[in-house]
Amino acid sequence: MDAFYASVEQLDNPELKGKPVIVGGTAKQRGVVAAASYEVRKYGVHSAMPTAQAKRLCPHAIILPVRMARYAEISKQIHKIFYDYTPEIEPISLDEAFLDVTASIPLFGSAERIGKEIKARIKQELGLTASVGLAPNKFLAKLASDMEKPDGFVVITEQNKQHILDPLPVSRIWGIGKVTTQLFNSKGIHTIEQLRKTPLPVLKSILGNQAEEVLKLAQGIDNREVESSREAKSISAEETFADDIIDEETLLNVLFHQVEQVSHRLRADGLEGKTITLRIRYKDFRTITRSHTMSAFTNTTKLLQESAIVVFEEWYKKSAAKIRLLGFGVSNLHAEGSGQQLLFSDPNNKKQKTIDAVFDKIRGKYGDDALTRGE
């Protein structure tokens, strides 16, 4: 989806169309930008940027609170359209998913026709624009979907993939950030073609164990399958930062927002989880995960947040460094209330569930910043 949160706000309030819209926390609350309309991106505003900085770049920007319940509602409607064409859907976030339509071609025609129909239906039925990338694998499909945003439709085939890839900057490969790009550039490697033709030992000196994987991507090779979510294995949220971040308070603010988002989705889907995982990608794009399994299944925000803080602080004390991605997920899921119940229920847990229900209701109507949680 194109600038999804901001586009939904413009859809719900037509007076915002064509105006610079930021969805996120306020500058006074040290908030961050969750989404930026294309009108405000012209000023250099992007997601995960501190709202105060965004306001300096575009003083006349309109800042709106996050309304996660509304975005989740629209996301479900989008997925209903997807399911009309294939059950093989791998959600990446509320606004992005991979679809494998291989088995659908005999029913609906070519993959290109399916992609165009889905795109047209999202526009006609929901009033929103989507950018579609069609390709033989996930890396190329994601790349294609980003190439002509907004409202794009790009097809990459086995025949034209190298022609499209070669002139692109190395930064267009998954996981290559600013620092790694600078390292490549210092060795005269600026384009994907130059990277593809670089001897493997040279790549390993820059990328370490990731060299072979990156080389395959430069060749348009990605063998990962679309993992259907018909039986959810986990629910997660993550943020890739435009600039590497090490500041503890900033990272915790991002993490708390992700916990709110994930816990809300768990409750909306009638699920509870027992294992929380933090996903952290360093500036050299080395990626690690840190997990913790709780004593009981839960979907209450406070319990998930408490566990997330413990895992985060343990990582931060031992291994803190500039990172370019932070993610939070909950796995080991089952239906809410389906597990073994305690003989004596915890009154505090009941209280937290009541608080969560109130939060979900009020935020769904007035936005995620309508209420904030205390200590």
Q: Do the beta carbons of residue 203 and residue 215 sit within 8 Å?
A: yes
Q: What is the pLDDT of residues 195-251, one digit of tens each?
A: 999 999 989 988 888 899 999 999 999 999 998 755 567 888 888 887 789 999 889
CATH class of the domain whose range is 234-366: alpha beta
Q: Is the pLDDT of residue 81 over 80?
A: yes
pLDDT of residue 257: 87
Q: Is the pLDDT of residue 369 over 60?
A: no
Q: Is the pLDDT of residue 64 over 90?
A: yes
State the pLDDT confidence band at 342, using cuts at 50, 70 and 90.
very low
CATH superfamily of 69-155: Reverse transcriptase/Diguanylate cyclase domain (3.30.70.270)
Note the Cα 364 to chain centre separation in Å.
Answer: 20
**Listed ranges 110-119, 257-266, 335-344; the one with the highest mean pLDDT:** 110-119
Is 1.10.3720.10 the CATH classification of the domain at 165-218? no
Q: How far is CA 231 from CA 2, 89, 269, 304, in A?
A: 27, 11, 12, 22
CATH architecture observed for domain 4-64: 3-Layer(aba) Sandwich (3.40)
Q: Is the pLDDT of residue 105 over 90?
A: yes
pLDDT of residue 344: 41
**243/38 Cα distance (integer angstroms):** 19
Task: Indicate the average pLDDT of the chain.
Answer: 88
Q: Of 46, 120, 129, 124, which Cα lies nearest the Cα of 85?
A: 120
Q: Is the pLDDT of residue 348 over 70?
A: no
State the pLDDT confidence band at 99, using cuts at 50, 70 and 90.
very high
**375/366 Cα distance (integer angstroms):** 22
Out of 73, 96, 193, 336, which one is annotated catalytic?
A: 96
227 carries an active-site annotation:
no
Domain ranges of the chain: 4-64, 69-155, 165-218, 234-366
State the pLDDT confidence band at 350, using cuts at 50, 70 and 90.
low
Lowest mean pLDDT, pick from 187-191, 269-273, 369-373: 369-373
Q: How far is CA 298 from CA 263, 287, 330, 350, in A?
A: 9, 27, 10, 11
Q: Do the beta carbons of residue 350 and residue 342 sit within 8 Å?
A: no
- Residue 289: its H or E element: strand 287-298
pLDDT of residue 157: 97
pTM for the complete prediction?
0.68
